[in-house]
Structure 1
Amino acid sequence: MPDRADHVRRRDISPRRPLRRRPTEQSLFSCIYGLVLASALVAALDATGDQADPGPDALWVVLTALAAGAAHGYAHVIALRASADGRAASSRLRLVLAEWPLVAATLPTVAMLLAAVAGWWSEAAAVDTALLFNTAALFCWGAWAARVSGYAWPSACRAGAMDMLIGLLIIIADTLID
């Protein structure tokens, strides 16, 4: 008889209650990936000694997010073909289009860069604000994903802190490299 402990409840998981909107694993993954991608791009594109030009930087963030989303979706299509699953071609298109949260997660960063284009603030301020916003958003997404999975608040905050650590590492790398 297999050793099963279905009757034992973990202490760090609270009982599930119905949620209005439970995000899919794919959308959570895509949002977190998009935030990390936007942070890394905005940090890399931030020109220290060069002439600031946030317009092309914003365009690069959007184009890279679109390319990454398309590549992820297409990788799912290739995996589907390799598994010899006989799903219809329309489901393959849905796999590619399902990556929209990755692109959407980069839009706040793009908006901050476009605000710098409009002259509302400098590119350096836009980059710093985008990095801080994305780091805070990583915490929120990580904590929310843990809460949706049934974790109690302390465990959810630890999960969010681990996601936030990625953003902090990008900020530290940006500071050291500049």
Structure 2
Amino acid sequence: MPDRACHVRPESVAPRWISRHRPPEQSLFSGIYGLVLASALVAALDATGEKADPGPDTLWVLLTALASGAAHGYAHVIAQRASVDSAATTSRRKLVLAEWPLVAAALPTVGILLVAVAGGWAEATAVDAALVFNTVALFGCGAWAARTAGHGWPSSVRAGGMDMLIGLMIIIANALIK
């Protein structure tokens, strides 16, 4: 029986492992945002004509991810404060800490750049490796989200492929700009 993109299995039919491993929507959102952010940052590092210096570049990727996570969390705090629903009880700390997946998603990129810091790779090689890793991770996130929503494998692979296009666009833009 062919799988259709619009076909979603009811929750009761979804495999048990899917119900146990369902990512919270906010975590998935922040994680995907973190992967895209890390890809864009690492692509910007590989500037033609500049002397490669992976140490400070790695630090900038990490600090930018931390600042972005804090900014997103604080934006939620401000939005909650400004909302007409003054009965909202979520603590400010929880709102800021809920953005940890954004930072966590950037950590593999930081780790790959640390290989260049240690002298294992040239920075350009680390940049390419990080872009490929993040693109594959975007595919995985898209496919996983579709599977946990009850979609079949063909539909989930298509969803992952669509998410992967974001990473591919960054890689293509990086190649065209440099």
Deviation for aligned residue 1:86: 2.5
Deviation for aligned residue 1:44: 0.6
Runs of 4+ in 1 over 4 A off after TM superposition: none
**Separation in structure 2 between the aligned mates of residue 45 and residue 24 of structure 1, nearest angstrom:** 32
Greater shift in the superposed pair: 99-108 or 46-55: 46-55
Q: Tell me which residue corresponds to 1:127.
A: 127
| 1:12 and 2:13 aligned | no
TM-score, scaled relative to structure 1: 0.89
Q: Tell me which residue corresponds to 1:103.
A: 103
TM-score, scaled relative to structure 2: 0.89
**Separation in structure 2 between the aligned mates of residue 59 and residue 129 of structure 1, nearest angstrom:** 18
Map 1:16-27 onto structure 2 (within 5 A).
16-18=14-16, 19-27=19-27
Alignment length, in residue pairs?
Answer: 168
Deviation for aligned residue 1:87: 3.4
Conserved? CA contact 2:138–2:167, under 8 Å: yes
**Separation in structure 2 between the aligned mates of residue 29 and residue 147 of structure 1, nearest angstrom:** 16
| 1:85 and 2:80 aligned | no
Query: Residue deviations 1:68-123, cap 9 Å, x none?
Result: 111111111111112233234x6221010010010000011001111101000100
Conserved? CA contact 2:115–2:126, under 8 Å: yes
Deviation for aligned residue 1:17: 3.1
Deviation for aligned residue 1:140: 0.2
Deviation for aligned residue 1:11: 6.1
**Separation in structure 1 between the aligned mates of residue 128 and residue 45 of structure 2, nearest angstrom:** 12
Q: Tell me which residue corresponds to 2:174.
A: 174
Unpaired runs of 5+ residues, structure 1, are: 1-9
